[in-house]
Structures are given as C-alpha cells and as structure tokens.
Amino acid sequence: MIKKEVIIGLLVGLIANVMGLYFASLIFGEGKDFFTVLSTASNEGILGKLISLGAILNLIAFFVFIKKKQDYRARGVLLMTIIIAVSTFVFKFI
C-alpha cells in the first residue's frame, strides 16, 4: 500500500515536471515548437536550466499532497524532484 502511494507520487512528480518543462518552453521559446526549443536549449547548453524551471510545478504538487495529509505521495514527488536534480547535474557535466 505504501509502495503504491510513493509510485503515484513519483508519477505525479514526473508529469508535473514535464508540464512545467512544456510551460517553460512556451514562455522562453519565442513561439517555436516544443522539440525545437529543447534541441536549441541542448545546443546552447541551457537544457538543464530549462528542466530545473520545469520542476517548479513539483512544488505545487508536493504542497497539495502535504495539505491533504498524503505524506507518501508527497514523498514520491520529493523523490522525483531529487532524481531530476541529480540527472540534471549529471547531464550538465557529461
């Protein structure tokens, strides 16, 4: 049961990050489509920063789960945020 709640939190964190990445690409993409913005950001070396901006929506999901007293789902969102941060860090230095 606890494992299921953490997995739901992980999925919500992943979806929130992808949505945040999409919204960040809309804001900073200057009217280009999503994949063009991602490839341009990768070529310019700012993809990690764009992914980090996308993780802001994880904050909202985390606090919603805390407010609803769904601590294990909030733990999953926090774990996904940590995974994203570590992967962004690794991606930056590769």
Pairwise CA distance, residues 74 & 66, whole Å: 6
Listed residue (87, 86, 72, 85) closest to 8, CA to CA: 72
- The per-residue pLDDT string of the chain (94 residues; one tens digit each, 9 = 90 and over) reads 789 999 999 999 999 999 998 988 888 878 788 888 888 888 888 888 888 888 889 999 999 999 999 999 999 999 999 999 898 888 777 7
Pairwise CA distance, residues 48 & 80, whole Å: 15
**pTM score, whole prediction:** 0.85
Pairwise CA distance, residues 28 & 61, whole Å: 23
Residue 58: partners with Cβ closer than 8 Å, 6 or more residues away: 13, 16, 17, 20, 77, 80, 81, 84
Task: Report residue 65 as tokens.
Answer: 């789960």
What is the pLDDT at residue 82? 93
Domain boundaries, the chain: 2-93
